Structure 1
């Protein structure tokens, strides 16, 4: 395959951003060298030293110093914990409930605006990215090559939370300065693209199915895929709608902090600094390096030797039983999610692929191995911590030149909920008797009408990026009110497990307002009809086209054979 056949105007720099709860990662590739994906591994420790810390990822932390944001490794080591803002990603979707654990992030405690926090963090990340690209490729290449961003989001997030992430990226100084397109991809899908590409192809057969378990800092996302083709590229389709929960390594960290305070909180010399050092070691070891956890010590510098408590030479020894106390409730939640995903799949599951920072934990791997059928393999692909960001770059490359750069293609996804719109239909006592109290008189047609749901996607339906969904509707309005400026339509969703209902009820919630600007359509092209009440009405036969992508939706209005792409979607 000759990647240099890409013409100069097709060449791009694809950037993947894995914005995580505890750590974030950035990787990039040039479309003419797609096999060379580069992860940023050097991070600033101050404004004057942009290359002071080596790490595969950077902490998702902020501190405001006289109003100026400091981020990641540039936050001084001696900063009091109460001044550090972390875990603020979880505040983007307050609708998610964790496993009974109240997560009050520092962002909420400080009363800060989560949208501003995400924008400030993304600005810093973007500025460091641009610095790195200029250092690696040169000013000229960076200035003359278009960039495209692929940002990952949890699959279990609401559409509003995903949209807020995209808006924050669009406002971020480091990203918006390039005026580049920003695409969203779900974290488990990105991880799947990377992990499946890296697997030994000899072990895979068409028809085999896998669960991808992306266990990160805050969220654990699961999706099952079935292999539909191995050549010329690996193609998969979702076997069942994804599931997930808030039960990532952040919750382990919280339990560890609580455990340590209970054990050592009264010991002379134990303070926030000792706790912070111990937390950092615990987090790095158990969510990034899958080490044996039977005998494990953590630094508690400055604490006197205490044989009874297990403190010796500035180290505190954790017993296996201590680790079980900390790990079990969180691990049990992940095990339950995996087992539920396996049983919900309509096909036999051959393997579970563990990715993400928490996915690298040996403890989690062994617990899963003992909890599922022996016929199901538990696999940890190499570099599981970077799977999401690497997969994001691969997805971006595939979008840029589908025929040349695609390595793994997700053919179909499964809809996670029912999607539909609400339209007026002629009232029929047999069908709508239970809605009699909601009927109303229509002056145009001279009859009773009632609002019912028009579902264009039902939960579990296969949805593909290449096959849009269409919903027809008739937009009416009195001519006396003047020329139509905007056609507005509301999209609703129902997440429940029931069949899609006939009419909207309390379980059907507003997803977004879709609005198309039609003010420029000449008056003569707007269809009209005289109503039974003698008034003239506009009557526009329209279609809305919806394309469901990995983590977002594109809407287009079709009227009179014309496409109106200037459709805005406002999520609620």
Structure 2
């Protein structure tokens, strides 16, 4: 590909941000050199030392020290554990809270809500990114090249949680100062773009299907893809709606901490500092080394400095011997949940699966890979692509490059996705005894405009499992009415509902149909003479606007546009609830 054909004005720096539960990653590429994706691997240890720690990712942690916001590696190792705020990403989607995930304490937060925490963290991350870009590319290149951001979010998150992430990024000082577009992509789709591109092209055939299992710190997301085209670029489509749950590796950390407190919590000298050192050893070494082949009496050394020798407890010279049999007990419930998710995804795909691609930090676990290998059909390969921990952030950059120059820079294209739930609106229709029956009889009401009984029913414009494409918008036609006597119409409002249950889409709204978002369009600038009016059955004059809402469903967001009288009104705002 001749990347130099890109006009100077089209050149951009594409930045991918993988905002994770336990660790976050950043990578970038220039559109004229898209094959050179660069991950940020050097992080600050203080305001005065912006290049003090080398790591592929940075901890998703905050500490408020007076007026200073410390983050990642800049939080001193001696900081009291109750001042460190971590795992706060999970609080963006309260609907998924389970397994004791509310792990941040009110004391350490100091009354700060999750939106403030995410904004502060993204600000720090963004400021370090800008420092890094200036160091690598020069001040003038960064100043004169436009930036675009692609931020990843779990696919299983609610639309509200995804929207809150986008808003936090827009507020973040390190990102907002550039006034750059911020795009969203689901984590498993980003991982899929990276992982599928890295497969041996000679071993791929049209019709081959793969499950991508993106196992991160907090969430495990799964999507199945079927190859629809190999050349000139790899094209895939989703084989079934994605699934997922909160069962990432942070739950191993929680189980390990609980285990250690139960074993050593009463030993003299055991405190938060001892636990923090032990957790670091577990996170960085033991969790990643543990394999299925380990014998029950194999031991792993945990530092417990300051604890007296205790043969009964297994403490000697400030070290605790953790048995493989104990590790198995810590791992199994979490691994079992991932295995169930993979099995269910394979079953729901209804197509032969060639391989499961494990990506994400937890996806790199040898124990998880081997347990999965023994739990599913032996004809299905279990693969761990190289750099699995960075798969999501590299995939985000690849997606951003493709968006900036689709003809030149697309490497893997997701043609179609599968809707994860029913999407629809609620409108009044003429009451029909045969159609609506006795169950809706008490909900009918009189319409003065049309002079008849009407009821509210659901109009589903997308059903769960439907194929949706970025290139094919969905349209919903509706008539917006209002008495002229109440003043001119200034806003057209629509409520979008969703139903995530496995049932067929219901005729009327019930407790399982939840409000997804309010869509509001400002039509105050439309001249009065362009607003249609007609006389109602009751003799009153009514506005009657024949409108359409256009909805484009992207990887992790939705764009709404109002169409009226052949005009497009992009003044549509969507407020998620």
Measure, in 1, the Cα distance between the counterparts of 2:66 and 2:16: 31
Q: Distance in 1 between matches of 2:217 and 2:282?
A: 13
1:112 Cα deviation (Å)? 2.8
- Who is 2:7 aligned against? 7
Alignment partner of 1:344 is 2:342: no
Q: C-alpha displacement at 1:344, in angstroms?
A: 1.1
| Alpha-carbon spacing, 1:31–1:290, altered in 2? closer, same or farther (3 Å) | farther
**1:301 maps to what in 2?**
305
SS at match of 1:62: strand
Give the corresponding residue for 1:501: 506
CA drift of 1:103 comes to 1.7
1:478 counterpart (468, 479, 483): 483
Cα distance, 1:526–1:289 mapped onto 2, change above 3 Å: farther
The 1:108–1:21 alpha-carbon spacing in structure 2 relative to 1, beyond 3 Å, is farther
Following the alignment from structure 1 to structure 2, what is the Cα–Cα distance between the partners of residues 301 and 423?
67
Compute the displacement of 1:69 (Å). 1.3
Return the offset for 1:509.
0.6
| Equivalences for residues 442-521 of structure 1 within 5 A | 442-521=447-526
Matches within 5 A, 1:536-547: 536-547=541-552
Measure the CA separation in 1 of the matches of 2:238 and 2:447: 44
Partner in structure 2 of residue 321 of structure 1: 325
Evaluate the alpha carbon distance shift between residue 378 and residue 286 of structure 1 in structure 2; reply closer, same or farther with a 3 A threshold: farther
Task: After TM superposition, give the deviation of residue 287 of structure 1 in Å.
Answer: 5.4
User: Following superposition of structure 1 onto structure 2, how do residues 321-400 of structure 1 map, counting pairs within 5 Å?
Assistant: 321-400=325-404
- Residues 107, 222 of structure 1: alpha-carbon distance in 2 compared, 3 angstrom cutoff: farther
Q: Is the 8 A contact 1:88 1:107 kept in 2?
A: no
How far off is 1:107 after superposition? 5.1
Contact 2:267-2:307 within 8 A present in 1 as well? yes
Distance 1:541 1:198, change over 3 A: same
The 1:405–1:286 alpha-carbon spacing in structure 2 relative to 1, beyond 3 Å, is farther
Q: Give the corresponding residue for 2:530.
A: 525
Hey, what's the Cα distance between the residues in 2 that align with 1:342 and 1:498?
20
Deviations 1:388-444 (A, max 9, x none): 000000000000001100111111100000000111111111111221111111111
Secondary structure at 2:102 match in 1: coil
Q: Which residue pairs with 1:103 in the alignment?
A: 101
Q: How far apart are 1:458 and its partner, in Å?
A: 0.2
Distance 1:288 1:177 in 2: 38
Tell me the secondary structure at the aligned position of residue 24 of structure 1.
strand
2:184 match: secondary structure? strand
The residue matched to 1:106 in structure 2 has which SS? coil
How far apart in 1 are the matches of 2:287 and 2:483? 61
Q: What does residue 230 of structure 2 align with?
A: 230
User: The residue matched to 2:546 in structure 1 has which SS?
Assistant: strand
Shift of 1:17: 0.4
Could you tell me how far apart the structure 2 residues matched to 1:271 and 1:423 are?
60
Equivalence map 1:213-228=2 (5 Å) = 213-228=213-228
Distance 1:237 1:410 in 2: 6
Instruction: Note closer, same or farther for the CA distance 1:233–1:107 as it changes in structure 2 (3 Å cut).
Output: farther
CA shift, 1:303, in A, is: 3.4
Distance in structure 2 (CA, Å) of the matches to 1:285 and 1:480: 72
User: Partner of 2:39 in structure 1?
Assistant: 39
- 1:178 and 1:17, CA in 2 relative to 1: closer, same or farther beyond 3 A? same
Rounded Cα–Cα distance in structure 1 between residues aligned with 2:49 and 2:8: 34
In 1: Cα distance, 2:10 partner to 2:389 partner: 31
Note the residue ranges of structure 2 that are not aligned, 5 or more in a row: none
**1:466-493 deviations in Å (ceiling 9; x for gaps):** 1100011111111112221110000000
> Alignment partner for residue 429 of structure 2, among 425, 428, 432?
425
Question: 1:74: Cα distance to partner?
Answer: 0.4
Do 1:365 and 1:378's aligned partners in 2 also have CA atoms closer than 8 Å?
A: yes
Q: Which moved more, 1:481-490 or 1:547-556?
A: 481-490
Q: Match of 1:559?
A: 564
Paired position in structure 2 for 1:246: 246
Distance 2:477 2:294 in 1: 59
Contact 1:287 1:359 in 2 (8 A): no
Alignment TM-score, normalising by the size of structure 2? 0.97
Deviations 1:241-271 (A, max 9, x none): 1111111111100110111122222333332
Post-superposition Cα deviations, 1:317-375, rounded to whole Å, max 9, x if no partner, equal 22221111110111111111111111111111111111101111111111101100111
Task: Give me the whole-angstrom Cα distance separating, in 2, the residues matched to 1:431 and 1:274.
Answer: 68
Q: Give, in whole Å, the separation in 2 of the partners of 1:244 and 1:62.
A: 27
Q: Is the 8 A contact 1:85 1:106 kept in 2?
A: yes
Q: Are residues 399 and 80 of structure 1, via their aligned partners in 2, closer, same or farther at CA, if it must alter by over 3 Å? A: same
Length-normalised TM-score, structure 1:
0.97
Q: Residue 268 of structure 2 corresponds to which residue in structure 1?
A: 268
1-side partners of 2:419 and 2:507: how far apart?
Answer: 19
